[in-house]
Structure 1
């Protein structure tokens, strides 16, 4: 029998059809083709990989570890040598050859650990050494395979493995995180081998096929495949092939009016004319064929800014140092003209170290700023998005020139010419890279380095040479760097010449030009340095450099590491707002240059069509209500009239900002309100009313609601930094993550008596002040009840409690529980809501709703948002701040309002739905307060809080699966829950032919393909399940008694991840069940919960598997059920390709769900 290898499994995991078939053919010695030669860059990466391992080995030897260096040839002698080294207990074994009779391989390293095994009092775990700076799923497959290979030698499977990544970073994983996925992969690979037919080669397709990718690309080119057409997406290719169109020639020859299922007429026309032009012979001048697109106001050539004598054309060169795990931008190049119509002058800034990179970046930015003073109307032109993205990253990474880069982005100073090209012309080239586009306006390049890959290789060669750091031809200069600089110069010149060429085409069409964008008042606010940013920088500057002990205490009474976190938290709200504005300007640019990109953007509506207007007079000022229609299949996140404040949008074509009057995403309609005052002012200014009658786009305008929080945080921070006022003790403890040792005793007391939790926790909080702790409540554990009891007992001894959360419903729910519990306990304490809102649903229930200035000391329990409790008049007014759903409350928001109370109780579950965040925050500053406090733990440590470990909701086997998947096996069911079950109204069989159970968890596989946000097949199956349930019977334990009754619509919850599926389910079920997205039902329960996964595969799932199988969402969906939880989904999902570590973990959970029958 031929032995398989971990590498074969690794390739199968990313290319199970194509790459795996060719690999198998080669393994059977049946491959007769020729693979392309290994590129020089790949050869260099292989050499770097060896160097990466050697660096680690030398480090370990210097530390005094015993290392067995083995050949790794996988011969019998090598297997014996590995066993001997393990038996002798070497600390590390390099290139350990392993074989279990079915698989063989050489592990990069084995690490000795102190754990009993068949060897004795020690054992081993594998280490995979990889150059990449981030883990890849293929690494996980190989590491899992070595865990399997170690089983015969150790007597059991290793519980963990390590990845040693670029930059010398170890990352450890629990094998269980991926084992079910790996086993499923193994089974699929075995089945693949059994049915392998060497005469049936799979159809070639583009994609990542590992070391077979270049080979497949050559075959596709030889076959004249559709992928040769520029702009051809995989989904387009599949739909065309289904029609029988497989080559570029066949596509170009399609007659006008021909249709293809699933492709719009416009998309088909675009692809057909692209193919046609690519097949058009080049002209006599050697120029490729091209066709100008029709001019559209505000888009393409029309959106190209007015030329300015100061204009700059920019390009960057960078390299990834895989061993160090860093990225170095080693060359910033720019062209400019001293006088119009002359040859561009080139200027370069070089960097060979991170310090030089910071200096070069700063010098480049300063040079542009200096040039702007002489030429305020200049723009910086580049080609493709890399330069814009890199400059954002460099500004944040080096904490320098951030304000300037923000200003450039908001002003539209940076102009990407790629979308201008793609929306202005159709080019007869296989791609729209600048190397192809320049065939329109440039002669053959002269530089020896001709592409980015060559540039990287040339720079690597320079690093290994003894040439100096200055480019040039003389002996005292570097010819290698000169070749790179020449390449960069030609890229910059090409960008300048492209700009000239586009301006000529624009002039030929007689299109007007527009100047540099002017910022609105809201946009201008974010231009200047913010006080919190300055305070943050001051705190960072105080931290010693180099820092020898980050636990040492600084002047604020915080450790240096906590002071760094505090510094990062201060600008949190500004960063969030900044990202909102960045996204807004990106959308505005897309609307002008490439509006199709907005179709999948939930914060925009693409291709809206004006359908009419109605006048709406009012006492103050009337308004025109303009009605638009759009395709309702667009995934929208925009909502109007939901109590979250007004929704303001912009029509980018005219820059008109309007409030949304009505929005119906299901019907595809939106109405915008144009006040007559604004309309008349525009008309008086000669601007026109600003309502486009042709198809246009709508984008969301950021709403900055955090200004009061920033102002209050600034006041507090000024007191901490400049007036030496102490930071609240509870916040200090939270930031330092200081454990509370006494909590260990409390947890020991309540472990045997779940009913003692509230009393014990209330007593602890009464006896201790200035502390932070968590109450983690998994699904159905009664966290709201327990929290209400804690509040009532504290109020009974005279304490005041503040209740806050991210949402009003959560605050109101806990206020209701607190009031009812206080009333039941005989307390007459006043429970009120603090709010400035005109209306609050609690007012209709007999609650007092008061403003902050109306609060009195007699009001013992007060609920309100962060915006209420951050007010100065509420400082030190409460003994305890209870933060409900703390997994959704940002650490920064807690910091703002923490001064209102002496202690903090974080209530929630970080394993359920998490806080929404837009920005990429540094360090831990973007985490929720509960997430930060838990420090990655699934279950709260016993010295940081209390874990409610008894589910009063779920049936035991359902609880067991939820517990295993999300709570380290710590969650148990109340014994009385064994009675939880349903009786079907009529027997219902699974697709496998088995009767569906009356309790527990079941995965109901439904075969389908091609579905993304809607699956009729799953809807059909869910309708069958609901019809078989209705009229049946349920029973479940409740407060020591049995609650039972008929199964009606109210007893069945149906959830789905996508609004389109939810809407179709609502239509089909028509009131026969409660239907909604998962977030709608958090905190609710029902005897039966059904969750539709909807998408056929990871490739077809919008936002990928990471959204579809996101653990918090899956946890909430499954755990709504008291008796029976049914997950309906495609069996193909478990066979999908995991693109990230998180997706591998998510598929692993799905595999476990599927096997739990």
Structure 2
């Protein structure tokens, strides 16, 4: 945002700022008009992020130059001159225009890159599409809005709107994510109009309020906004109170912490959104904070003691106890880096230990060393526990075991034995403190812990060190920086130990007052029999596949990389299953007041008394307060305590009603909260991977024979064909011809929505049917399978080719298609395709990965393969001699819950 005479010129950054915080727009406009001064504060993290972004952008520019592309740099010295040079470069057909200067009306823009594409425009046989380089691994709304603005500006110059816009992200060095402009233009126009209206209406006066938002973390106005909220005693000062809560409370004509704390209990108002219990909990927090403020003393009070919560989660202290803390950089590499493992032991030595890990190789070694230490300590002190603050540490260990595919059994043992003790959870469930945030640092005033390193200094040194890591320049990290970061980590460990001591002293006081507080039961970490058998079964296969495979991916051949991928797929489904159960236990352990914030849950249930009988079951109607939920009809539910609790028959989130079908044994059970939980069996797919891996271990990855298509996919080989194939001319004609000459290979057909992939696939399938071939279709959903079948049937009718289709279903359709047979039985479906009773069979990956489906079809079509995981695609590959993969690589991948070794978590495309 800047002025040119009396005109206010806007930029792409103003769009991003406005969607992040409307108050920021008001402040920037007032500063521009001179009614307020710009803040002196400059967030150091923002400067570092900008510097990192520029380095990434420059690295991508160098890569483009290495490709011998014509790169034009219009320069940034003068807006008008740079704009003219950009237009000239576009007219001359430059391959890449770097830092392209653009203008449209009162809007200015500088696109990181304009990329030349083969699409006719007023310029000639070419046109341009904008490209933005971003360090974030997920494309944010602000980035999309910026690219929409650049696209409209480019359209003004070339006379045609770009079809796509692109984001370059760091994974695999430089990964391009493409987005269809038409999908976002309406939203862009809405936000652009909103910003222009806000500027017109404000006229330099500030009418907005500085409600806290995520952008505050990097905003230069943060200090002034925070000061305003404190002056106003704003509701956001209450720990745990969100903007949505504040909006609700303001409806009661209360706008301050003190006003909220002064309300009488029980609350007589009924919230329009959220449960009364939630607001009563927040009211208690506000009251304690107000008491602490008035007394200028650390104030706390005990919460109601509930079995399994708060003090009940504190195990007996042991000489072997460990207090643990990570330092991590989420921006390092492609998956972040845990660069400092720090822990304090509780025995006589009371020694602080740490391991630095400044690259992925060292991270793996540090992880293994730490786990070795824990296992040895467990053996020496069977009653020990690992204390940490917030769930981050065990979550990071789970990620590391999946990322590096090592020490998985040991981490599983620790989790099963409940070795990890989260003191954040203990504190939040045990007491209410007069503090604005329940951070480790805020709690130190209660247990009188004093730090050597000032937190502001520690934060700046952490940022500096992480910058060195991200630049792969760790050798130049100053000794002072290392010392300060290590001391900061040590003090976090000491503070955690001190906090545990304080909580134990409070527990002792409660016991002396006559309360009964039991210790949590210890587990031995022993795995179930099925887990042990699985590990014993796959370990020899894993060792054979990994023999002679280099640890460094850059040193592997394509065959060795394929073996590495397949070896690490052997335990892939169990990793997913573990993550699913971890989430189940997390939800089970949440109090009802926190479950209401989870989209997979519904809290505040009240049974209406309305009931319908259905055979031996009942359907009960419940009401609930307005809340965001992803629960839908058909979802299987668990009660808040984790017990099974029926199936959703119907839900209306607007009226707050949910109908639940329950069995006779729980018909009189009425929990306050429920959450959805589905345990989807993956046995068939896992067994398919084991069969393929066993064959490869015995015969070799690149040998002729079974499972060729799946092995080619892992080796990333081009399609095998029976005859030499010339891929020139019409793409669809070539695809049809190519599909008919595949020789145990994989043919990918990629493209964005609307590019004709399904039509091309239907033509290939029709030609295969003419040749007497058997065809399979699979995808993540039955809907996608059915849609492709409809296209095949339609093409067959138009061209006079009889098509006999069957779909494997779990239950018959309410309105079945007369052209598509339906079969519930897997064996009968397999017999139908093998016996040529049908020539096209559709089913999800659970069908095609079954034993007995091997080589059942000549060609298997995987639709929306950009969404299907690589491992599922390999699992279904056993069913076909050849595979055709259809999809858009930019589609959202199949949702995963677990962490997996890099390369095994990707989609088929």
Both proteins in one fold, TM over 0.5:
yes
Residues in 1 aligned to 2:80 and 2:789: alpha-carbon distance in whole angstroms? 71
When residues 692 and 35 of structure 1 are mapped into structure 2, their CA distance, relative to the original with a 3 A threshold, is farther
Give the structure 2 partner of residue 599 of structure 1.
596
Query: 1:96, 1:110 within 8 Å by CA — same for their partners in 2?
Result: yes
Residues in 2 aligned to 1:113 and 1:437: alpha-carbon distance in whole angstroms? 57
Query: 2:576, 2:896 within 8 Å by CA — same for their partners in 1?
Result: yes
Matched, 1:707 2:683: yes
Residues in 2 aligned to 1:504 and 1:44: alpha-carbon distance in whole angstroms? 43
Give the structure 2 partner of residue 484 of structure 1.
485
Give the structure 2 partner of residue 176 of structure 1.
181
Shift of residue 237 of structure 1? 0.4
Give the structure 1 partner of residue 580 of structure 2.
580
Give the structure 2 partner of residue 252 of structure 1.
261
Shift of residue 128 of structure 1? 4.7
Shift of residue 829 of structure 1? 12
Structure 2 residue corresponding to 1:236, chosen from 223, 237, 245? 245
Describe how 1:42-61 pairs up with structure 2 within 5 A. 42-48=46-52
Give the structure 2 partner of residue 729 of structure 1.
708
Shift of residue 366 of structure 1? 1.6
Structure 2 residue corresponding to 1:860, chosen from 817, 828, 837? 837
Query: 2:592, 2:640 within 8 Å by CA — same for their partners in 1?
Result: no
Aligned with 1:295: secondary structure?
coil
Matched, 1:37 2:34: no
Query: 1:407, 1:527 within 8 Å by CA — same for their partners in 2?
Result: no
1:12-69 alpha-carbon deviations (Å, 9 max, x no partner)? 442463111111112222224x625214444444554555566667777888888777
Give the structure 2 partner of residue 102 of structure 1.
106
Query: 1:330, 1:352 within 8 Å by CA — same for their partners in 2?
Result: yes
Shift of residue 493 of structure 1? 1.4
Give the structure 2 partner of residue 17 of structure 1.
22
1:804-824 alpha-carbon deviations (Å, 9 max, x no partner)? 676789999999999999999
Aligned with 2:580: secondary structure?
helix
Residues in 2 aligned to 1:96 and 1:816: alpha-carbon distance in whole angstroms? 46
Give the structure 1 partner of residue 315 of structure 2.
305
1:190-245 alpha-carbon deviations (Å, 9 max, x no partner)? 33333333345212311126443443223212221111111111111001122221
1:619-656 alpha-carbon deviations (Å, 9 max, x no partner)? xxxx999999674867777799x7x9xx695774xx7x
Residues in 1 aligned to 2:361 and 2:469: alpha-carbon distance in whole angstroms? 17
When residues 692 and 60 of structure 1 are mapped into structure 2, their CA distance, relative to the original with a 3 A threshold, is same
The runs of 5 or more residues in structure 1 that have no matched partner are 472-476, 555-559, 676-690, 752-759, 936-1157
Matched, 1:419 2:425: yes
Residues in 1 aligned to 2:668 and 2:350: alpha-carbon distance in whole angstroms? 39
Aligned with 1:4: secondary structure?
strand
Shift of residue 383 of structure 1? 1.1
Shift of residue 589 of structure 1? 3.2
Query: 1:74, 1:98 within 8 Å by CA — same for their partners in 2?
Result: no
Query: 1:381, 1:417 within 8 Å by CA — same for their partners in 2?
Result: yes
Give the structure 1 partner of residue 291 of structure 2.
280
* Higher mean C-alpha displacement, 511-520 vs 83-92: 83-92
Shift of residue 372 of structure 1? 0.9
Structure 2 residue corresponding to 1:718, chosen from 694, 703, 706? 694
1:149-183 alpha-carbon deviations (Å, 9 max, x no partner)? 55676676666666565686364646735555444
Describe how 1:586-985 pairs up with structure 2 within 5 A. 586-590=586-590, 594-599=591-596, 601=598, 606=603, 631=624, 649=638, 652=641, 660=646, 667-669=658-660, 671=662, 703=679, 705-724=681-700, 726-732=705-711, 736=716, 738-739=718-719, 770=744, 852=827, 860-861=837-838, 870=849, 872-879=851-858, 891-904=870-883, 917-919=896-898, 925=904, 932=908, 935=909
Residues in 2 aligned to 1:810 and 1:173: alpha-carbon distance in whole angstroms? 22
Structure 1 residue corresponding to 2:142, chosen from 138, 154, 158? 138
Residues in 2 aligned to 1:371 and 1:470: alpha-carbon distance in whole angstroms? 35
When residues 603 and 525 of structure 1 are mapped into structure 2, their CA distance, relative to the original with a 3 A threshold, is farther
1:654-699 alpha-carbon deviations (Å, 9 max, x no partner)? x7x5584997765454645669xxxxxxxxxxxxxxx998956656
Give the structure 2 partner of residue 1099 of structure 1.
none
Residues in 2 aligned to 1:64 and 1:829: alpha-carbon distance in whole angstroms? 50
Give the structure 2 partner of residue 991 of structure 1.
none
1:738-767 alpha-carbon deviations (Å, 9 max, x no partner)? 35786979978979xxxxxxxx97x99787
When residues 72 and 530 of structure 1 are mapped into structure 2, their CA distance, relative to the original with a 3 A threshold, is farther
Residues in 1 aligned to 2:888 and 2:475: alpha-carbon distance in whole angstroms? 55
Aligned with 2:318: secondary structure?
coil
Matched, 1:512 2:518: yes
Residues in 2 aligned to 1:915 and 1:883: alpha-carbon distance in whole angstroms? 13
Query: 2:606, 2:624 within 8 Å by CA — same for their partners in 1?
Result: no
Shift of residue 570 of structure 1? 4.2
Describe how 1:449-528 pairs up with structure 2 within 5 A. 449=455, 453-457=459-463, 459=465, 478-507=479-508, 508=510, 509-517=515-523, 525=531
Query: 1:663, 1:671 within 8 Å by CA — same for their partners in 2?
Result: no
1:110-152 alpha-carbon deviations (Å, 9 max, x no partner)? 6788999888999876665555455444344445545555567
When residues 200 and 523 of structure 1 are mapped into structure 2, their CA distance, relative to the original with a 3 A threshold, is farther
When residues 418 and 728 of structure 1 are mapped into structure 2, their CA distance, relative to the original with a 3 A threshold, is same
Query: 2:329, 2:337 within 8 Å by CA — same for their partners in 1?
Result: yes
Describe how 1:995-1006 pairs up with structure 2 within 5 A. none
Residues in 1 aligned to 2:783 and 2:113: alpha-carbon distance in whole angstroms? 53
Give the structure 2 partner of residue 1008 of structure 1.
none
Describe how 1:143-154 pairs up with structure 2 within 5 A. 143-146=147-150
Query: 1:91, 1:112 within 8 Å by CA — same for their partners in 2?
Result: yes
Give the structure 2 partner of residue 686 of structure 1.
none
Query: 1:129, 1:165 within 8 Å by CA — same for their partners in 2?
Result: yes
Residues in 1 aligned to 2:888 and 2:225: alpha-carbon distance in whole angstroms? 47
Structure 2 residue corresponding to 1:223, chosen from 229, 232, 253? 232
Shift of residue 705 of structure 1? 2.2
Matched, 1:446 2:441: no
Shift of residue 561 of structure 1? 5.7
Residues in 2 aligned to 1:848 and 1:136: alpha-carbon distance in whole angstroms? 44
Describe how 1:1113-1128 pairs up with structure 2 within 5 A. none
When residues 798 and 54 of structure 1 are mapped into structure 2, their CA distance, relative to the original with a 3 A threshold, is closer
Residues in 2 aligned to 1:120 and 1:785: alpha-carbon distance in whole angstroms? 30
Give the structure 2 partner of residue 943 of structure 1.
none
Aligned with 2:221: secondary structure?
helix
Residues in 2 aligned to 1:850 and 1:51: alpha-carbon distance in whole angstroms? 58
Structure 1 residue corresponding to 2:76, chosen from 67, 72, 78? 72
Matched, 1:265 2:253: no
1:356-391 alpha-carbon deviations (Å, 9 max, x no partner)? 333222222221111111123322111123223322
1:514-572 alpha-carbon deviations (Å, 9 max, x no partner)? 2324669759727974755774575466555666698x653xxxxx5655554554444
Query: 1:449, 1:483 within 8 Å by CA — same for their partners in 2?
Result: no
1:314-359 alpha-carbon deviations (Å, 9 max, x no partner)? 112233567x6774433221122115xxx94322222333333332
Aligned Cα root-mean-square deviation (Å): 5.8
Shift of residue 108 of structure 1? 5.3
Shift of residue 432 of structure 1? 0.8
When residues 737 and 20 of structure 1 are mapped into structure 2, their CA distance, relative to the original with a 3 A threshold, is farther
Query: 2:621, 2:658 within 8 Å by CA — same for their partners in 1?
Result: no
What is the number of equivalent residue pairs in this alignment? 868
Residues in 2 aligned to 1:493 and 1:170: alpha-carbon distance in whole angstroms? 42
When residues 478 and 299 of structure 1 are mapped into structure 2, their CA distance, relative to the original with a 3 A threshold, is same
When residues 876 and 74 of structure 1 are mapped into structure 2, their CA distance, relative to the original with a 3 A threshold, is closer
Give the structure 1 partner of residue 324 of structure 2.
314
Query: 1:6, 1:141 within 8 Å by CA — same for their partners in 2?
Result: no
Give the structure 2 partner of residue 406 of structure 1.
412
When residues 602 and 231 of structure 1 are mapped into structure 2, their CA distance, relative to the original with a 3 A threshold, is closer
Aligned with 2:344: secondary structure?
strand
